[in-house]
Amino acid sequence: MKASKLTIGYTEIPRNELTAEWKQLLERAIQAASKAYAPYSQFNVGSAILLSDQTMVTGSNQENAAFPSGLCAERVALFYAGHEHREKTITKMVVCAVKKGELLAEPVTPCGACRQVMVESILRQKSSFEILLWGNDFGYLLNHAELLLPFSFDAGSLK
Protein backbone atom coordinates (compact mmCIF):
# COMPACT_ATOMS: atom_id res chain seq x y z
CA MET A 1 0.00 0.00 0.00
CA LYS A 2 1.22 3.48 -0.86
CA ALA A 3 -0.17 6.69 0.62
CA SER A 4 -0.51 9.65 -1.72
CA LYS A 5 -1.51 13.25 -1.29
CA LEU A 6 -3.48 15.46 -3.64
CA THR A 7 -3.27 19.26 -3.53
CA ILE A 8 -4.71 21.95 -5.74
CA GLY A 9 -3.40 25.38 -6.51
CA TYR A 10 -5.51 28.48 -6.17
CA THR A 11 -4.98 32.19 -5.61
CA GLU A 12 -6.58 34.09 -2.76
CA ILE A 13 -7.47 37.43 -4.28
CA PRO A 14 -8.76 40.60 -2.54
CA ARG A 15 -11.49 42.71 -4.12
CA ASN A 16 -9.09 45.57 -4.96
CA GLU A 17 -7.03 43.23 -7.15
CA LEU A 18 -9.92 42.02 -9.30
CA THR A 19 -9.80 43.07 -12.94
CA ALA A 20 -12.67 45.13 -14.34
CA GLU A 21 -13.97 42.02 -16.10
CA TRP A 22 -14.00 39.97 -12.87
CA LYS A 23 -15.68 42.86 -11.00
CA GLN A 24 -18.43 43.07 -13.60
CA LEU A 25 -18.97 39.32 -13.50
CA LEU A 26 -19.05 39.39 -9.69
CA GLU A 27 -21.68 42.15 -9.71
CA ARG A 28 -23.81 40.04 -12.05
CA ALA A 29 -23.47 37.06 -9.69
CA ILE A 30 -24.52 39.21 -6.72
CA GLN A 31 -27.54 40.45 -8.71
CA ALA A 32 -28.39 36.86 -9.59
CA ALA A 33 -28.29 35.88 -5.91
CA SER A 34 -30.97 38.48 -5.24
CA LYS A 35 -33.25 36.54 -7.61
CA ALA A 36 -32.80 33.21 -5.83
CA TYR A 37 -35.85 31.31 -4.65
CA ALA A 38 -34.65 30.15 -1.24
CA PRO A 39 -37.61 30.23 1.17
CA TYR A 40 -36.35 27.21 3.12
CA SER A 41 -32.64 27.87 3.60
CA GLN A 42 -32.57 31.67 3.21
CA PHE A 43 -29.22 30.94 1.50
CA ASN A 44 -29.18 32.82 -1.81
CA VAL A 45 -26.51 31.76 -4.27
CA GLY A 46 -25.70 33.56 -7.50
CA SER A 47 -23.54 32.51 -10.40
CA ALA A 48 -22.37 34.40 -13.46
CA ILE A 49 -20.64 32.95 -16.51
CA LEU A 50 -18.64 34.79 -19.14
CA LEU A 51 -18.76 33.26 -22.60
CA SER A 52 -16.19 33.50 -25.38
CA ASP A 53 -18.10 36.32 -27.13
CA GLN A 54 -18.37 38.33 -23.87
CA THR A 55 -22.01 37.30 -23.29
CA MET A 56 -22.80 36.95 -19.59
CA VAL A 57 -25.20 34.29 -18.33
CA THR A 58 -26.43 34.15 -14.75
CA GLY A 59 -28.21 31.71 -12.49
CA SER A 60 -29.55 31.54 -8.96
CA ASN A 61 -30.51 28.68 -6.72
CA GLN A 62 -34.12 27.54 -6.97
CA GLU A 63 -35.30 25.56 -3.96
CA ASN A 64 -38.20 23.18 -3.61
CA ALA A 65 -39.93 21.79 -0.52
CA ALA A 66 -38.73 18.38 -1.77
CA PHE A 67 -35.07 19.40 -1.41
CA PRO A 68 -33.52 17.17 -4.08
CA SER A 69 -35.85 18.72 -6.63
CA GLY A 70 -34.24 22.17 -6.47
CA LEU A 71 -31.27 23.37 -8.47
CA CYS A 72 -28.12 25.21 -7.50
CA ALA A 73 -27.14 28.53 -9.09
CA GLU A 74 -24.12 27.00 -10.80
CA ARG A 75 -26.14 24.33 -12.60
CA VAL A 76 -28.88 26.79 -13.57
CA ALA A 77 -26.27 29.00 -15.30
CA LEU A 78 -24.30 26.11 -16.83
CA PHE A 79 -27.38 24.36 -18.21
CA TYR A 80 -28.75 27.61 -19.63
CA ALA A 81 -25.40 28.39 -21.28
CA GLY A 82 -25.26 24.87 -22.72
CA HIS A 83 -28.77 25.17 -24.10
CA GLU A 84 -28.87 28.73 -25.40
CA HIS A 85 -25.18 29.26 -26.27
CA ARG A 86 -23.88 25.81 -27.13
CA GLU A 87 -21.53 27.13 -29.86
CA LYS A 88 -19.75 29.42 -27.36
CA THR A 89 -17.27 28.41 -24.70
CA ILE A 90 -17.33 29.29 -21.04
CA THR A 91 -14.23 31.30 -20.13
CA LYS A 92 -14.97 32.44 -16.56
CA MET A 93 -17.41 31.73 -13.76
CA VAL A 94 -18.15 33.44 -10.44
CA VAL A 95 -20.08 31.96 -7.52
CA CYS A 96 -21.16 33.91 -4.43
CA ALA A 97 -23.69 33.50 -1.62
CA VAL A 98 -25.82 35.99 0.28
CA LYS A 99 -27.49 35.41 3.65
CA LYS A 100 -29.72 38.06 5.27
CA GLY A 101 -28.78 40.55 2.57
CA GLU A 102 -25.01 40.24 3.10
CA LEU A 103 -22.34 38.39 1.15
CA LEU A 104 -20.89 35.55 3.18
CA ALA A 105 -17.57 36.44 4.79
CA GLU A 106 -15.88 33.33 3.37
CA PRO A 107 -16.03 32.23 -0.27
CA VAL A 108 -18.78 29.73 -1.00
CA THR A 109 -17.80 26.47 -2.71
CA PRO A 110 -19.94 24.45 -5.15
CA CYS A 111 -21.60 21.20 -4.11
CA GLY A 112 -20.49 17.91 -5.63
CA ALA A 113 -23.27 17.83 -8.23
CA CYS A 114 -22.29 21.29 -9.48
CA ARG A 115 -18.64 20.27 -9.64
CA GLN A 116 -19.63 17.25 -11.75
CA VAL A 117 -21.62 19.46 -14.14
CA MET A 118 -18.62 21.80 -14.43
CA VAL A 119 -16.43 18.87 -15.46
CA GLU A 120 -19.00 17.79 -18.04
CA SER A 121 -19.18 21.35 -19.40
CA ILE A 122 -15.39 21.38 -19.74
CA LEU A 123 -15.44 18.05 -21.58
CA ARG A 124 -18.27 19.24 -23.81
CA GLN A 125 -16.47 22.42 -24.88
CA LYS A 126 -13.01 20.78 -24.89
CA SER A 127 -11.46 23.54 -22.76
CA SER A 128 -11.42 24.55 -19.13
CA PHE A 129 -12.46 27.85 -17.57
CA GLU A 130 -11.44 29.95 -14.61
CA ILE A 131 -13.65 30.05 -11.54
CA LEU A 132 -13.83 32.64 -8.78
CA LEU A 133 -15.45 31.58 -5.51
CA TRP A 134 -16.29 34.81 -3.72
CA GLY A 135 -16.63 35.92 -0.08
CA ASN A 136 -17.28 39.42 1.21
CA ASP A 137 -13.85 40.95 0.57
CA PHE A 138 -11.85 38.18 -1.11
CA GLY A 139 -12.15 35.10 -3.25
CA TYR A 140 -10.45 31.92 -4.31
CA LEU A 141 -9.44 32.00 -7.97
CA LEU A 142 -8.80 28.68 -9.68
CA ASN A 143 -7.32 28.71 -13.17
CA HIS A 144 -9.03 25.41 -14.03
CA ALA A 145 -12.50 24.63 -12.69
CA GLU A 146 -11.91 20.87 -12.89
CA LEU A 147 -9.48 21.21 -9.98
CA LEU A 148 -12.58 21.32 -7.78
CA LEU A 149 -13.33 17.67 -8.59
CA PRO A 150 -10.30 15.41 -8.61
CA PHE A 151 -10.95 11.81 -9.69
CA SER A 152 -14.02 12.99 -11.59
CA PHE A 153 -16.51 10.65 -13.25
CA ASP A 154 -16.70 11.14 -17.00
CA ALA A 155 -17.64 9.28 -20.19
CA GLY A 156 -14.46 7.20 -19.90
CA SER A 157 -15.73 5.91 -16.57
CA LEU A 158 -18.69 4.26 -18.33
CA LYS A 159 -16.50 1.93 -20.41
Q: Which residues are annotated as catalytic? A: 74
The DSSP result for 55-110, as a single string, is -EEEEE-B--SSGGG-B-HHHHHHHHHHHH-TTS-EEEEEEEEEETTEE-SSPP--
Provide the residue type at 37 as one letter: Y
50: three-class secondary structure by DSSP: strand
* 137, 15 contact by CB (below 8 A): yes
Among 48, 59, 23, smallest CA distance to 129 is for 48
